[in-house]
Amino acid sequence: MPHMPCLARKGMPVSHDSSSRRIRAGWKVYTPVHTRNSRKRMKSQIGVMCCLSVIFFGLMSCTPTIRLTTVWKDETLQGKKIEKVFVRGTLWGEANRELFENEFVKELKARGVDAVASYTVIPFEKAADEETIKTAARVLNRDTILTVRMVNTKTVNRSVPTESFRPCVYRDWPGTPSPCWTDLVPGTATVEDVFLILETNLYDAGTDRLLWSAQSEIWVVESDAVMMKSFVQVMLDRLSQDKMI
């Protein structure tokens, strides 16, 4: 027979009729020990899950989403910095080309570099081959061309720990089943991470000579706008470190 909470008062007999279920002033509800322990355990386990979630998302925010894998610079430049650059590039496809180039132009100008976005002179519907880009840069009297293109993508599967509650049932009031949760059940789940492999090149607009090049990986866990801003900052910080801007 299941345990049932009952109403009792000092010096008074306990009755289990319907009137005894009403809580009146001065009366106290006695809950079975196993029910109280189950509730305490449930609250404790929920607290643990909340803490684990905070830790997980904290680690995610600390993990870099953009990583430079290789960087090359023409060491014969001897401190020569770019002054007028023609920007051509996108993270993927033409859909975000305008936003991407605008972000580059804005940040280059903030660092004292005269920059022009390619979409202002090369229409989206026009095929932008190498010769078209070089011609546009020379017409605008640019001394360098900065290009960004996606060369590949890769997918990495990884296992992450998970935990779930094992359900049970206890009877709170007579004849009324109520859900409860007992121990946490450990498990694993497979997460698919997608990475973009990008190549960034800086050319001399007059001679087509390669001046600087970098390859990078972007972990696709954020919106396009956030990834664009982060990518531009990483590239320009490295160009500044290499004394190109």
pLDDT, tens digit, 9 for 90 and up, residues 5-47: 444 444 444 444 444 444 444 444 444 444 455 555 555 555 5
User: What pLDDT is attached to residue 52?
Assistant: 47
Q: What is d(CA 232, CA 35) in angstroms, rounded to the nearest whole number? A: 57
Q: What is d(CA 174, CA 178) in angstroms, rounded to the nearest whole number? A: 11
Domains and CATH numbers, the chain: 65-156+192-241 (3.40.50)
**Which value, in Å, is the radius of gyration of the alpha carbons in the chain?**
32
What burial class does residue 245 get, using C-beta atoms within 10 Å of its C-beta: 0-12 exposed, 13-18 middle, 19+ buried?
buried
Strand order in the sheet with 210-219: 66-73, 210-219, 176-204, 144-173, 84-89, 114-117
- On average, the pLDDT of the chain sits at 76
User: What's 101's DSSP letter?
Assistant: H
Provide the whole-model pTM: 0.65
User: What pLDDT is attached to residue 1?
Assistant: 47
